[in-house]
Structure 1
Amino acid sequence: MRQLAIIPHPEAKITLFSWNGKYLIKLEKGSLEQTYKVSELDLTSEDDIHLLLDEEFVQAAVQRFKAMQQDLQAAFDRHGI
């Protein structure tokens, strides 16, 4: 796996990788992460990844991080952990 870029954003760490004919878009916030795999054949260049990572996409991912954290906390609470 080859790291291509770190894309600055104030709400999540975004790292772009290339691996096995795919671009991997990895978003991290605290202990949570989301990874999206996009075939290199679906894009004309690496620049297209930056187009995909518009503010609407990133804000949806940030909201998903909140839901993930709530789900994890609910599981802890259910089991008294």
Structure 2
Amino acid sequence: MRYIKDIPNVHLKIGLYQWNSKYIIKVESGMYEQTFKIDDYEVTDTNELERCIDETFISAVQGRFDEMHNDFFEALKRNNVLF
């Protein structure tokens, strides 16, 4: 996987990569991550991808991170890993 660049964000770590004829946007928050893949022929350049990472997208991603955390925390409690 070839690293292209980081996309600045105050709350999340966002990296842009290229691998296997796809662009990969990797978004990280603490111990969780989300990845989004798009065929490289679908966009003319990486600037198009960066424009897609707008406030609406970031808000949806953050909401998903909250759901991921809640799901994992509940699984830990349900299985007596956390008390």
Is TM more than 0.5 here? yes
Report what 2:24 is aligned to.
24
Report what 1:68 is aligned to.
68
Gaps of 5+ in 1: none
TM-score normalized by the length of structure 1: 0.96
Amino acid corresponding to residue 27 of structure 1 in structure 2 = V
TM-score normalized by the length of structure 2: 0.94
Instruction: Tell me the distance in 1 between the aligned counterparts of 2:47 and 2:5.
Output: 11
Report 1:1-80 matches (<5 A).
Answer: 1-80=1-80
Amino acid corresponding to residue 72 of structure 1 in structure 2 = F
Instruction: Tell me the distance in 1 between the aligned counterparts of 2:46 and 2:9.
Output: 18
Gaps of 5+ in 2: none
What is the Cα-based RMSD across aligned positions, in Å? 0.7
Give the percent of matched residue pairs that are identical in Structure 1 and Structure 2: 37
Structure 1 runs (4+) deviating above 3 angstroms are none
